Amino acid sequence: MKNLKSYLMIAGDKEKHLSKIDELSCDVAMINLEDGVADKQAALNLLEKRFKEGEFRAKNKFIVVRVNPLDETGCEEIAVLNTLKPHAIRIPKIKGTADILKAIELIDKEIEIHLSIETKEAFMSLSTFKLDERVTTVYLGILDLLESLELPQSLLKLDNPMIDYILSKFLVDSKIAGCKPIFLTYQDYKNTDEFTAWLLKAKMMGYTATSCISPTQVEIANEMFSSDENEIEKAKYIVKIFEENRANGTTGFSDELYGFIDEPIYKNAKQILKNF
């Protein structure tokens, strides 16, 4: 599952929401056991009741479960989820490598490890967080991060250069670490115009996926981050013609369709195909 674009938050304590996972248009169902879930034990019991071992992986969605912090009820939740086998478990409130090493030890080897970057300590050290191949994805919890930095949430505006810095640093450090960065969660789900504007910014910066909190946001995200078929076909052509010429000893040549093609152009085309 390469091109996962839309990550939709689903209440882990709502039977009705869990029963409709297959009907959703999101790429990733993010089952939430953390914020907004009043009775966390009841939510965990509900998952055990609804999903037997292997059922998560039979869904037509990539299933992630967001647990509570490891120093709260996260460890107990992970023990249960190890038997249910979601595709990934998301750990909140990460501060440093000690938290990640603990998660690596606790989580079954068949399950990916996702991290919420929402503390100033995690934000500072993100580029070092690839401590295991299962650590694949990181999420920008920008509201909690602003609080951790002792900055007001009112700064979260499209034209704020400080927010641009946070978004840029998060993306670049994620890439340095070798993890997929997931764009911030836009909370005002009724304001689709501003959500679209945020995603335009995200795409321009290089993001390929975002968190969502409503089906409408999912539809916008899927359209915004969908692959450009012309770009994909161009990349396939460049990879093919470059590899044909390289086999004959040539790694720089002029092409009648796309002009001069050399190894950096080829590597860019390979990256496009890798992402999509």
pLDDT tens for 222-265 read: 998 986 667 788 888 889 999 889 988 888 888 888 888 888 88
Query: 245 and 194, same structural domain?
Result: no
pLDDT tens digits for 30-44? 999 998 888 889 999
- Measured CA distances, 139 to 22, 85, 181, 236, 267 (Å): 23, 21, 6, 30, 27
Question: For residue 58, what pLDDT is reported?
Answer: 67
CB 235 within 8 A of CB 275: no
pLDDT of residue 93: 95
Q: Which whole number is the average pLDDT over 127-139?
A: 97
Average pLDDT over every residue of 76-103: 95
Mean per-residue pLDDT over the chain, rounded: 92
167 φ, ψ to 5°?
-65, -40
Beta bridge partner(s), residue 88: 64, 112
- Of the pLDDT bands very low, low, confident and very high (cuts 50, 70, 90), residue 2 is low
Average pLDDT value for residue range 134-156: 97
Question: Do residue 211 and residue 251 come from a single domain?
Answer: no
How far apart are alpha carbons 117 and 138 in whole angstroms?
7
In the predicted structure, residue 151 carries a pLDDT above the cut 60? yes
Tell which phi-psi region holds residue 259, choosing left (phi > 0), alpha (psi between -120 and 50) or beta: left
pLDDT at 275 over 70: no
Checking if the pLDDT of 87 tops 80, the result is yes
Question: What are the tokens at 62?
Answer: 């990539």
The C-alpha atoms of residue 24 and residue 218 are separated, in whole angstroms, by 9
pLDDT value of position 276? 64
Same domain? 145 vs 251: no
Same-domain check for residues 127 and 249? no
The arithmetic mean of pLDDT across residues 67-73, rounded, is 94
Residues 65 and 196 in one domain: yes
User: For the chain, what is the domain count?
Assistant: 2
Note the pLDDT of residue 56: 83
Average of pLDDT values for 9-25? 90
Give the pLDDT of residue 133.
97
Domain end marker among 224, 246, 263 = 224
Residue 27 lies in a domain: yes
Per residue in 187-221, is it b (16+ CB within 10 Å) or e — as a string?
A: eeeeeeeebbebbebbeeeebbbbbbbeeebbebb
- The two beta strands, 28-32 and 180-182, are unpaired
Which of 224, 244, 264 is a domain's end point? Answer: 224
* CB contact at 8 A, 161 and 201: no
Q: DSSP for 101-131?
A: HHHHHHS-TTSEEEEEE-SHHHHHHGGG---
Average pLDDT rounded to a whole number, residues 10-22? 89
- Coil, strand, or helix at residue 156? coil
1 falls within a domain: no
> Looking at residues 117-144, what average pLDDT do you find?
97
Question: What is the rounded average pLDDT of the residues 110-139?
Answer: 97
* For residue 3, pLDDT beyond 90: no
Q: What percent of the chain has pLDDT over 70?
A: 96
Tell me: do 175 and 116 sit in the same domain: yes
Residues 102 and 187 in one domain: yes
Task: Give the CA-trace dihedral at 26, 93, 169, 128, to 10 degrees.
Answer: -110
In a domain, 258, yes or no: yes
Does one domain contain both 146 and 268? no
Q: Going by DSSP bridges, is the β-strand pair 259-262/252-255 parallel, antiparallel, or unpaired?
A: antiparallel
| Domain limits for position 10 | 6-224
- The answer, yes or no, to whether residue 106 has pLDDT greater than 90, is yes
**φ/ψ bin of 203: left (φ > 0), alpha (ψ from -120 to 50), beta (otherwise):** alpha
Length of the chain: 276
Q: How do residues 179-229 score in pLDDT, each as one tens digit? A: 999 999 999 989 999 999 999 999 999 999 999 999 999 999 999 898 666
Q: What does the pLDDT average to over 263-271?
A: 84
